[in-house]
A and B are shown apart, each in its own frame.
Chain A
Amino acid sequence: MLTIPDTLLARLVPESAAWLDDALHEAVAAPHAPGPRRMPAWELRFAEAGRRCGSPENAEAARVLLLRAARPGPATTVRLFQQGASAERRAVLRALPHLAITPEEGVPLIEDALRTNDTRLVAAAVGPYAAAHLPAHAWRHAVLKCLFTGVPLSVVAGLADRSLGDAELARMLGDFAAERTAAGRSVPDDLRRLLAPTAKES
Chain B
Amino acid sequence: MRIFDPHIHMTSRTTDDYQAMYAAGVRALVEPAFWLGQPRTSPDSFYDYFDALLGWEPFRAAQYGIAHHCAIALNPKEANDPRCAPVLDELPRYLVKDNVVAVGEIGYDSMTPAEDTALAAQLQLAADHELPALVHTPHRDKLAGLRRTLDVVGESALPADRVLVDHLNETTVKEAKDAGCWLGFSVYPDTKMDEDRMVEILRVYGPEKVLVNSAADWGKSDPLKTRKVADAMLAGGFTQDDVDRVLWRNPVAFYGLSRRLVLEPTEPGVLHEGNSILRGGA
Residues of A participating in the B interface, judged by any CB pair closer than 8 Å? 37-39, 44, 47-51, 55-56, 59, 83, 85-87, 89, 116-120, 144-145, 148-151, 185
| A86 with B59: CB separation less than 8 A | yes
Q: Which of A51, A117, A145 contacts B98 (CB 8 A)?
A: A51
| A148 with B281: CB separation less than 8 A | yes
A69 to B59, CA, bound (A): 29
Total A-B residue contacts, Cβ distance less than 8 Å: 83
> What are 19 A-B pairs at a CB distance below 8 A?
A37-B93, A37-B95, A37-B129, A39-B92, A47-B97, A49-B98, A50-B98, A51-B98, A51-B262, A83-B93, A87-B98, A117-B279, A120-B59, A145-B281, A148-B282, A149-B278, A149-B280, A149-B281, A150-B273
List A contacts of B260 (CB < 8 A): 50-51
A185 to B273, CA, bound (A): 9
Contact with A along B248-263 (1 / 0, CB 8 A): 0000000000011010
**Secondary structure dominating the interface of A:** helix
A120 to B266, CA, bound (A): 12
Q: With A37-B92, A56-B267, A148-B272 in contact, do A118 and B56 touch (Cβ < 8 Å)?
A: yes
| A119 with B266: CB separation less than 8 A | no
List A contacts of B93 (CB < 8 A): 37-39, 83
A39 to B97, CA, bound (A): 13
Interface size of B by Cβ–Cβ distance < 8 Å?
30
A118 to B273, CA, bound (A): 15
A83 to B55, CA, bound (A): 11
Contact with A along B88-119 (1 / 0, CB 8 A): 00001101111100000000000000000000
Given contacts A85-B54, A85-B97, A145-B280, list 6 more A-B pairs with CB under 8 A. A37-B93, A50-B98, A56-B267, A117-B278, A117-B280, A119-B278
Residues of B participating in the A interface, judged by any CB pair closer than 8 Å? 51, 54-56, 58-59, 92-93, 95-99, 128-129, 259-260, 262, 266-267, 269-273, 278-282
| B96 with A37: CB separation less than 8 A | yes
| A86 with B273: CB separation less than 8 A | no
| A85 with B98: CB separation less than 8 A | yes
Q: With A86-B54, A118-B56 in contact, do A38 and B92 touch (Cβ < 8 Å)?
A: yes
A117 to B269, CA, bound (A): 11
A56 to B265, CA, bound (A): 11
A61 to B153, CA, bound (A): 40
B129 smallest CB distance to A (angstroms) = 7
A19 smallest CB distance to B (angstroms) = 13
A145 smallest CB distance to B (angstroms) = 6
| A148 with B280: CB separation less than 8 A | yes
| A150 with B270: CB separation less than 8 A | yes
Chain B residue, CB-CB nearest to A47: B96
The 5 closest A-B pairs by CB, nearest first: A50-B98, A148-B281, A85-B54, A117-B280, A47-B96
| B96 with A44: CB separation less than 8 A | yes
| A150 with B271: CB separation less than 8 A | yes
List A contacts of B278 (CB < 8 A): 117-119, 149-150
| A55 with B270: CB separation less than 8 A | no
| B56 with A116: CB separation less than 8 A | yes
Chain A residue, CB-CB nearest to B56: A118
List B contacts of A119 (CB < 8 A): 59, 269-270, 278
A38 to B95, CA, bound (A): 12
A77 smallest CB distance to B (angstroms) = 16
Q: Which of A44, A50, A118, A185 contacts B55 (CB 8 A)?
A: A118
